[in-house]
Amino acid sequence: MSHMATKQTRALPCVVQIGFAGSRQLFEKPPADPDAERQWRDTGEQYLVKSLGELPRQLKLSSHHFLCGISQIACGADTLFSRACQTLQIPQRLFLPQPAGDYLAAASSSGTPDFTPAQRREAESLLASEHIIQQRVISQSPDRTERFRETNAEILRVSDAIVCLLRDDSQDKAGGTNELLERAKAIGVPALEIRIAVQNGHPVCHHTWHSNSDRPFRPPAVPEPLDQFSLLAGEEKFPATPNGSSDWKEFASGWAKKHQQLFRYAAALIITLHILATLCATVALASPNKRRYYSSCYAELMVTMGLDIMNGDLGENTPWLPPCRLGPRALLAR
């Protein structure tokens, strides 16, 4: 015991997912000289590297947290983000609106290719990088705009925080980065907005943090019972304890059985409510006007309850809860 107590331990690693989106064209009028343009791009990339490096402090993460980037792999800002993740050795997941080959060969509605040959080679090089841990096709929509909208929506859904790199005069575009940023702000996801502009012939970056004081950011936590485990200092693998795998298996099995039971109860309740609603509707059709009115109210109430249960909406603001608390007599007395 004393020997084990002297060993330093740390909590299990816990991922913090950082979604990203940005402008394809970072500069309205980039310099004609390739070296100068590369220097402008380097300015944006270095700012991203610095910003990503400061995220653990900005989000008040613990030492056991680690970042994982999520983005597309478009030219412009997405490419800079992937390079920044590569530099910082941050693992990255790629969410694509279509398979990678089609994505790299895609063209706009006007027929302009999304990638120049050089940009495509750079994207293919990043796709082969070791820091890319996943490629996932998000959308099956035939519409180009809808594909991008669905992909950005999925990036936002799974992300703990959002980073956006936008040209300073970037305009709103359906399915674009501005739309993603506004949706993140609306639902209270912390968002770091980086704008890049050209001043006196040089690129300049500035940023703004968007957060909701009513919904403060809470770093992700390791779920029970995994939070009871720890790693010895220097270990990078899960502890191989005799009971480790059995404890995790027991936790997963218990969680699955619990939700399976809840689903069965919900299904039985929904079926029952639909049967009662049908009976009420039948009584309403065969009854005088007043009784028909109240029977139709009950039918509507039961259908609404069933739909709310099916959607998982059982909160305090559910419209049908107050009448149910009053009871049938009070409802009919109305």
> What residue has token string 């959607």?
311
136 CB neighbour count, 10 Å cutoff: 11
Q: From the CB of residue 58, how many other CB atoms can be counted at a distance below 10 Å?
A: 14
**Tens of each residue's pLDDT in the chain, 334 residues:** 444 444 566 778 899 999 999 998 888 888 888 888 899 999 999 999 999 999 999 999 998 899 999 999 999 999 999 999 999 999 999 999 999 999 999 888 788 898 999 999 999 999 999 999 999 999 999 999 899 999 999 999 999 999 999 998 887 777 788 999 999 999 999 999 999 998 888 899 999 999 888 888 899 988 877 777 776 665 555 455 455 556 656 767 777 777 788 788 888 888 887 787 777 777 666 666 655 555 566 666 666 666 665 555 544 444 444 443 333 333 333 3
pTM: 0.68
DSSP annotation of 313 reads: -
CA separation for the pair 34, 204 (Å, rounded):
19
Residue 272: half-sphere exposure toward Cβ, Cα within 13 Å = 7
